[in-house]
Structure 1
Amino acid sequence: MNTPVKGLRAAKVAETQERILEAARALFVRDGYHATALTAVADRARVGHRTVYVRFGSKAALLRRVVDVAVAGDAGQRDVREREWFQAALTGRALADRVDALVVGTADLMERAGDLFEVVLQAQASEPELAEAFQASRTATRELMQRFVRTARADGLLAEVADAVWQEETAALAGQAETYLLLRRTTGWANEQYRDWLRRTLEEVLAPA
């Protein structure tokens, strides 16, 4: 098969997958996990019912992929630690630059994926695959936030503190998806208010040198 034909086929496959993911996101957010059928996703995406099953295998796997794309911001395979905003949070010249990069990146992620995190939370009781994935996400977030704090400390940007573990764990808790969801439910804050809260929290937890 010649290269142009391969390219056209790959583009069609990618376009079909994008339609499926967009349809799934809309239905999961609107109707919830349990009320969303894969056949309904296929109909909204204008593809055959079998296409969704062949591409994703199960509803849980489809939701996982929708969440992964929302978290990353695109369909690429790079995870958060490889994204430009997180790298900027590790390498900025001043602590304020690093905090700003982390806050903007985290708040944008929550804005993209927050509604989907709610869907996962409602589904995980009956879907062990989703419960396991969400727990892995909690662990990954904690590790990323700890890395952020430890890197800033190693680079001489933080003052000495009596309890470095408290500092790391408090920053890690501030960056968790469930912290964002709890604030959204209890305060009704918009994303901009969450962003301001996260910046102030990190600034107060991370005593600058």
Structure 2
Amino acid sequence: MKDQVKADARAEFGAARIARTEALVVAAARELFLEHGYAATALTQVARRAGVAPRTVYVRFGTKAALFRRVIDEALVGDAEPIEVAHRPRAQDAMTAGTLRERLDALVDVTAGIADRAGALLEVAAQAEGAEPEIAEAAQSGRRETALLCKEFWSRAAEDGLLESTVDIEQLAVTTDALLCADTMVHLRRANGWSAAEYGPWLREALRTLLHPRTS
């Protein structure tokens, strides 16, 4: 019994140490990707910034693309917990709140939060897509997920009786996808210099004006 307790303690200590090391590497990688871009950032630089051996970075993450995806994934949700954005409380509010206005507000909060945490990194990802197939596929997968989320948002609103029967759900879904997708965030950052502080209110107003009837 004592041996098992010791083994469990060692395993827990080892897992905590790995988590701390990965957190250091991810933080260093985020800084360097934002400072120098994707192409100009090397894993050896990340290791040096994180204060770990280069081999540690390769063992824990394998490739620069895999490390970059980890950086993006954590920025999207705001932490290292393995819980996708769609399963976070505010995202659930967007699907279940009692009024359409509340659902739209929750959807904006989720999207503006992503813009705040990951907007600059999404610009780096857009630059890397052409040269890195793994990142390009991840970006395309994200586009598909966003489109599906938008369709689910309006479909559930209709099922819950929050929309007029004459509303074109498909059109709403496509338009909403265009408004809140990562590509639009990147475009608005590049074209207008917008941060989440400008993007959030614009998105809120744009979504509310999609429907002429009352949204509450």
Q: Which TM-score tier does this pair reach, normalised by the shorter chain?
A: over 0.9
How far does residue 11 in structure 1 lie from its aligned partner after superposition? 1.0
* Structure-to-structure mapping, 1:126-141, within 5 angstroms: 126-141=131-146
* Structure-to-structure mapping, 1:8-157, within 5 angstroms: 8-157=13-162
CA contact 1:103–1:195 (8 Å) conserved in 2: yes
CA contact 1:103–1:198 (8 Å) conserved in 2: yes
How far does residue 63 in structure 1 lie from its aligned partner after superposition? 0.4
CA contact 2:155–2:169 (8 Å) conserved in 1: no
CA contact 1:95–1:157 (8 Å) conserved in 2: yes
User: AA paired with 1:114?
Assistant: G
Deviates more, 1:120-129 or 1:4-13: 4-13
User: AA paired with 1:160?
Assistant: S
User: AA paired with 1:138?
Assistant: R
CA contact 2:115–2:195 (8 Å) conserved in 1: no
Question: TM-score scaled by structure 1?
Answer: 0.95
CA contact 1:70–1:113 (8 Å) conserved in 2: yes
Out of 166, 169, 186, the residue aligned to residue 164 of structure 1 is 169
CA contact 1:174–1:198 (8 Å) conserved in 2: yes
Whole-angstrom distance in 1 between the partners of 2:43 and 2:97:
44
Whole-angstrom distance in 1 between the partners of 2:80 and 2:169:
36
- Tell me which structure has the larger Cα radius of gyration: 2
Structure 1 ranges of 4+ moved more than 3 A: 160-163, 206-209
CA contact 2:151–2:170 (8 Å) conserved in 1: no
How far does residue 140 in structure 1 lie from its aligned partner after superposition? 0.4
Whole-angstrom distance in 1 between the partners of 2:54 and 2:94:
43
Whole-angstrom distance in 1 between the partners of 2:16 and 2:63:
24
Whole-angstrom distance in 1 between the partners of 2:16 and 2:167:
55
CA contact 1:158–1:207 (8 Å) conserved in 2: no
Gaps of 5+ in 1: none
Whole-angstrom distance in 1 between the partners of 2:126 and 2:195:
20
CA contact 1:157–1:208 (8 Å) conserved in 2: no
* Structure-to-structure mapping, 1:171-182, within 5 angstroms: 171-182=176-187
After superposition, give the CA deviation of every residue in 1:107-159 in whole Å (9 maximum; x if it has no partner).
Answer: 01111111111111111111111111100000001111111111111111112
Gaps of 5+ in 2: 1-5
How far does residue 207 in structure 1 lie from its aligned partner after superposition? 4.3
Q: How many residues align?
A: 209
In structure 2, do the counterparts of structure 1 residues 16 and 134 end up closer, same or farther at CA, with 3 Å as the change threshold?
A: same
Whole-angstrom distance in 2 between the partners of 1:195 and 1:128:
31
Question: TM-score scaled by structure 2?
Answer: 0.92
